[in-house]
Structure 1
Amino acid sequence: MAQKKAGEVDAFLSRPDFSYPVILLYGPDPGLVSERAHTIAKQSGVDASDPFASVTLAADDLEKDIGRLYDEALTVSMFGGKRLIRIRGAGNGKALGEAVVDLSARKLEGAILIIEAGELKKNSGLRLGVERAKYALALPCYQDEARALDRMIDEELNRSGLQIDREGRDELKSRLGANRLASRGEVEKLCVYAYGTDKITAADVAVIVGDVSADAVEEAIDAAISGAVKKLPALIERLTDAGTPVYQLQQTLLRTIQQLQAMRESVERNGEPVARVIERRRPHFKRKPALETALGAWPLEALSRTGRRIEADILKSRKENQMALTITRQMMLSIAVEAALHRRR
């Protein structure tokens, strides 16, 4: 079976073995998957800027026209040498999975095929097919979060000739999120800010590095519960582009609705003012207006019903993993619409 353990992937990346012309990378962090795919592509020797030698395809498009993949994989390069084909956004699509299995059974002489996928279960057709194929290799992209973050931070600091004190490093790591590329971008931004200084401190981090892991998620959740319908789609898109896990949105939304339900009981059954109930929770000042709006608008019965619906949608998205993002997006938008209706009553 052609597969590497998660702990063996870094060693493979240092010296990729292209005797496996089909390479599948998968894992929950799309930023990490993309970064590692880029490393492999760079070491393939193929000029990524040459449109005759390199092409990037979307998995969703290939599901509609799988013949395109065969055309690209079996076409001989016009000027000799190998061609590089990268597929992004792969999942449990049947057409793509079957095509990759077929191409992996033969040794592609003129092409290197790199496939970037999200989290794939052990029984996923794409993952099983690659693991069992003779000329393909599966690379799971997981990481020890603490060690991986330290390594990435050190890479960027060394590149910039900077150092960071212990408090600064701890503060920085606490603000970095699940997406590898987004986190690296924050560290790069910090290095530019601190250029010319002797050492980066926690104060520097607080000034320039946003909380990648929480701020954007909370902003989207607050838009949903307060009825900011027009604002919400762009916030969801920003999160998905940054690779925020769908489960993080789901769990934060469910937890917020449950908190609102508990607070609404104090309003309806104990007659407490909305402002006093919110103040007792001591939310961050940025979240306070949205929470006050939501608590003042949602009836207790509607919050209970919405909580049950979120739980059902979470279960549905786990059963239909490839539809998880669509299910979650529709769920959040419908909650925002209902919140807007409650505000008008």
Structure 2
Amino acid sequence: MKIKNYEIDNFCSSSNMNTPAILIYGEDYGLKNERVSLITKNYLNNSKNIIDLDVKSIISDPEILTTELKSISLLADKKVVRIRDANDKISSIIENNIFFNPKECLLILISESLSPRSKLRLIFEKHKEAVIIPCYSDDAKNIINIIDNIFKKENIKIDINAKKLLASYLGVDRLVTKSEIEKAILYSGKTKELSINDVSSFLIDQAAINIDKLYDLTLTGHIKQAYKVISKLQNEGIPAIQILRSFTRQLQNLYNIKQNILLKNDINFVIDNFKPPIYFKRKDNIRSQILKWSFSMIQDALKLLENAEINCKKARSSPNIITKHTIINISLLLKKAH
């Protein structure tokens, strides 16, 4: 069952979802994660009764999914079962389970872009109760609305030209968009005002340039040079969380670039038209990363970054050491793959 675009946000925010399963698919990694988190939170009413399954396990033993859907904990009245990277290989297994899924359990599938002929997509579109939600990159109008809504909430004033400049760098990924807007809010300081010069300044901030350099060196296998750059950043007082989150945004961008190449089959066109725009001196590095890093490797690196941020926030942790170890481990992913 399809949901109209203007109804999606209300559906995701509802605590009364009368559906056995939801398929969330598309090219916007951040928007997919945002909607999965929102749906899960509202359905479970903040409980943590969540089971994550992978496609390989389901293919090798379909009963795993059936068992998880039918078994409800005595300590919780609802349950969410999530399957990431869902594809047509498990379409028949999913179809068989949707019809018998109990009301106390919600099945959520997260997938990449699916063609109109996709078996999995057709199952959800034709089903009377199962829901399908597309997640495509925000257009110019949506980006402006997101900026306006967040700035209004934070009482930030921005002139029209500054807003247009900021919007031109956003849109490829919802998580990246919101993260960049949060940076703009911090940059506004106590005045809570942003001019076009302010926006220009933080977009080319030197710390960001050095983090870009760190990222490029790490993902192209130059670990010794990367170690020198991260030491320099830390000596300059750049917080570990800022480095980790910048790395996360960069990897999400790489993930989206690779997805766009699959759709358009033109690497140069995708790189030249990507948002936020890629600085011309970095384009060769990005091309190299596209060839060397698979989707699964990017996801593994994102998981390392997620765990690193969690560990950095723990009492008595050493954020700088954690960050250095994480950068090394990300570089080792590339070494192991080649």
Scaled to the shorter chain, the TM-score interval is 0.5 to 0.7
Q: Does 1:131 align with 2:131?
A: no
Query: Corresponding residue for 1:208?
Result: 202
In structure 2, which of residues 244, 252, 257 is the aligned counterpart of residue 241 of structure 1? 252
Query: Corresponding residue for 2:151?
Result: 157
In the alignment, the residues of structure 2 paired with residue 237 and residue 117 of structure 1 have an alpha-carbon distance, to the nearest angstrom, of 20
Encode CA deviations 1:303-328: one digit per residue, 9 max, x unaligned: xxxxxxx9xx9xxxxxxxxxx958xx
Q: With the length of structure 1 as denominator, give the TM-score of the two structures.
A: 0.61
In structure 1, which of residues 63, 69, 74 is the aligned counterpart of residue 65 of structure 2? 69
Q: CA deviation at 1:236?
A: 11
Q: Does 1:108 align with 2:69?
A: no
Superposed structure 1 runs of 4+ greater than 6 Å apart:
234-238
8 A Cα contact 1:178 1:244, kept in partner: yes
8 A Cα contact 1:190 1:208, kept in partner: yes
**Shift in CA distance, 130/255, structure 1 to aligned 2, threshold 3 Å:** closer
SS at match of 1:100: helix
Q: CA deviation at 1:195?
A: 3.0
**Shift in CA distance, 43/161, structure 1 to aligned 2, threshold 3 Å:** same
Query: Corresponding residue for 1:301?
Result: none
8 A Cα contact 2:26 2:113, kept in partner: yes
8 A Cα contact 1:47 1:54, kept in partner: no
8 A Cα contact 2:21 2:106, kept in partner: yes
Query: Corresponding residue for 2:12?
Result: 13
In the alignment, the residues of structure 2 paired with residue 33 and residue 130 of structure 1 have an alpha-carbon distance, to the nearest angstrom, of 17
**Shift in CA distance, 25/66, structure 1 to aligned 2, threshold 3 Å:** same
Query: Corresponding residue for 1:148?
Result: 142
Query: Corresponding residue for 1:99?
Result: 93
Query: Identity over aligned residues, as a percent?
Result: 28
**Shift in CA distance, 98/119, structure 1 to aligned 2, threshold 3 Å:** same
SS at match of 1:39: helix
Q: CA deviation at 1:203?
A: 1.9
8 A Cα contact 2:29 2:252, kept in partner: no
In the alignment, the residues of structure 1 paired with residue 249 and residue 59 of structure 2 have an alpha-carbon distance, to the nearest angstrom, of 25
Q: CA deviation at 1:68?
A: 3.0
Q: CA deviation at 1:230?
A: 4.7
SS at match of 2:11: helix
Q: CA deviation at 1:112?
A: 1.2
In the alignment, the residues of structure 2 paired with residue 237 and residue 22 of structure 1 have an alpha-carbon distance, to the nearest angstrom, of 29
Query: Corresponding residue for 2:328?
Result: none
In the alignment, the residues of structure 1 paired with residue 31 and residue 270 of structure 2 have an alpha-carbon distance, to the nearest angstrom, of 29
2:41 maps to a residue whose letter is: K
Q: CA deviation at 1:31?
A: 1.3
Where in structure 1 are there 5+ consecutive unaligned residues?
258-282, 292-309, 314-323, 327-345
**Shift in CA distance, 70/195, structure 1 to aligned 2, threshold 3 Å:** farther
Encode CA deviations 1:193-214: one digit per residue, 9 max, x unaligned: 2231141122222222369xxx
Query: Corresponding residue for 1:277?
Result: none
Query: Corresponding residue for 2:81?
Result: 85
- 1:259-278 maps to which residues of 2 (within 5 A)? none
In the alignment, the residues of structure 2 paired with residue 123 and residue 284 of structure 1 have an alpha-carbon distance, to the nearest angstrom, of 37
User: May I ask how many residue pairs the two structures share in their alignment?
Assistant: 262
Please, which moves more after superposition, 246-255 or 142-151?
Answer: 246-255
Q: Does 1:54 align with 2:65?
A: no
Query: Corresponding residue for 1:119?
Result: 113
**Shift in CA distance, 163/62, structure 1 to aligned 2, threshold 3 Å:** farther
Q: CA deviation at 1:149?
A: 0.8
Q: CA deviation at 1:249?
A: 5.4
**Shift in CA distance, 76/125, structure 1 to aligned 2, threshold 3 Å:** same
Q: CA deviation at 1:128?
A: 1.1
In structure 1, which of residues 183, 188, 194 is the aligned counterpart of residue 182 of structure 2? 188
8 A Cα contact 2:27 2:259, kept in partner: no
SS at match of 1:43: helix
Please, which moves more after superposition, 99-108 or 28-37?
Answer: 99-108
Q: CA deviation at 1:239?
A: 4.8
Encode CA deviations 1:99-128: one digit per residue, 9 max, x unaligned: 221221224222112222111111111111
